Amino acid sequence: MAKDRVLIVDDDHAIRFTLSEALRSWGYEPLEARTVAGALEVFDSEQPVVVLQDINLPDGSGLDALIEYKKRHPQAIVIIITGDVNLDATIAALRGGAYDFISKPIRLGELQVTIRNGIEAGKLRKEVRYLRRYQEKRLSFDQVVGTSPAINEMLTLARKISGSEASSVLLIGESGTGKDVIAKAIHYGSPRADQPFVAINCAAIPGTLIESELFGHEKGAFTDARARKEGLFEQAQGGTLFLDEISSLELALQAKLLRVLEEGTIRRVGGLRDLPLDVRIIAASNRDLKLESGAGRFRLDLYYRLSVIEVDLPPLRERGDDVLLLADYYIAHFNERLKRHIRSLAPEVKDVFRKYHWPGNVRELRNVIERLVILEDSDAITTRWLPRDLIRQDLTVAPALTPTQNTEGSPAQFRLPDGGIDLEQVELALVRQALERSGGNQTRASELLGISRDQLRYRLKKIEGSPAG
């Protein structure tokens, strides 16, 4: 195994010899240089893990060499060694990125510990950088699966927001459309990516506790407040706070949130002073907040403040063949996780997936694929193990409604079957066909149905049993 190389930069031959012998005994490979120019040449060619750098050299200052090391390799571990202990030089070295500062005469035991700690710190920083890059890649926009016009339009807007200085963003969309995924992508694609991403589901925490969770509290603020506690706003300082299901916040807390957005400060429960805040807030809701405000359940001023930049996540049924791309993605995911070897969906299953309304959206699809990967016996997913809801949804209302002959320019006439029909199911089938034919494009689908885009969205929400907006 190759030994870690350590570069000794000192114009004193005796010191270089002594340190080289010590380094060999500690298991390192020593490298030597006596000038700044020589040190930089060895640094570039040998890439040592640690540099032991004297300050006073024949051709310049070791502090200048330090600056060059850091330019060429910002993570370099440089330990300054000098016999002239000077406070200004020490401060300059540490500000320039030196790992530590050791004075002459050198205590070898101290130096050995410092080198070992420096190498460990370098490895830790490298690991953190790797994990951060992995996290950013895993949670980036590139990981959003889909090519439909609806998803591309949404992603274009979300990317613009990510790179902006917008302090608040509102994500709206049905449950299961992936609002948490887009919130993380906005954060990790932004200049705030190195800072915390903190998330809270406002519906999952009792109203009596959520204020303390968000804003923190001072010791003695209430009966169980035995110590000061930082809230989620403070924990997200410099980064992003994701408030999922924001419509569940009580009106009093909505007022406090509005104050945070307007003033950029928070006050802990029981606190006496305001704390400055630098946090991007991403709020999400599966309800129409404007309708909620009309019903007195959500502050209209907070809605307007949040909706300055609004991202509408399309439901899965409006995304055309994205459902098949997502199915393939989850098949691969669960193959790896569950040690299975499913290749794909059978053609008849693809047809069912295209026709199904997916009220639970991407979350429902994920759960369906997990079930099928577990239960399927062949190498392709067949209809055998499909959930009952998917099997029952294959409506055959189209043949029942047969248009009669009509003259040009007159409205089409449809014959009502003797046994009657379920009008809502007919509407559902026609809306679905229009969306399939338009590839999920709501504007084109509404043109095919002869209605406005708002009327189309109203019908979709009415079909789901949720308020129309």
317-333, pLDDT tens digit by residue? Answer: 999 999 999 999 999 99
Which residue from 104, 114, 113, 107 is spatially nearest to 56, judged by alpha carbons? 104
Where do you find CATH 1.10.10.60 in the chain? 408-464
- In this predicted structure, the answer to whether residue 255 has a pLDDT above a threshold of 50 is yes
* Amino acid 448: pLDDT: 81
If you average pLDDT over each of 83-87, 162-166, 411-415, which comes out highest?
162-166
Which residue from 37, 27, 33, 38 is spatially nearest to 15, judged by alpha carbons? 33
Q: Rounded CA gap, 281 and 424, in Å? A: 39
Where do you find CATH 1.10.8.60 in the chain? 317-392
- Can you state the angle between helices 423-437 and 347-355, rounded to 10 degrees? 110
What pLDDT, in 10s, does the model give residues 66-105?
989 988 888 889 998 877 666 666 666 667 788 888 888 8
- In this predicted structure, the answer to whether residue 400 has a pLDDT above a threshold of 80 is no
**Is residue 327 a contact partner of residue 376, using CB atoms and an 8 Å limit?**
no
**Is 3.40.50.300 the CATH number for 141-314?**
yes
Q: What is the CATH number of domain 317-392?
A: 1.10.8.60
Q: Rounded CA gap, 367 and 349, in Å? A: 15
Portion of the chain with pLDDT greater than 70, in percent: 86
**Is 3.40.50.2300 the CATH number for 5-134?**
yes
| Residue matched to tokens 């994205």 | 322
**Is residue 84 a contact partner of residue 59, using CB atoms and an 8 Å limit?**
no
Residue 436, judged by CB atoms within 10 A of its CB (0-12, 13-18, 19+), counts as middle
* Amino acid 416: pLDDT: 65
- Mean of the per-residue pLDDT values for the chain? 85
* Structure tokens belonging to residue 183: 């919130």
Q: Rounded CA gap, 360 and 316, in Å? A: 9
Q: Rounded CA gap, 286 and 206, in Å? A: 19
Where do you find CATH 3.40.50.300 in the chain? 141-314
- In this predicted structure, the answer to whether residue 197 has a pLDDT above a threshold of 90 is yes
Q: Rounded CA gap, 392 and 356, in Å? A: 9
- Reported pTM: 0.62
Correct CATH for 408-464 of 2.40.30.10, 3.40.120.10, 3.60.15.10, 1.10.10.60: 1.10.10.60
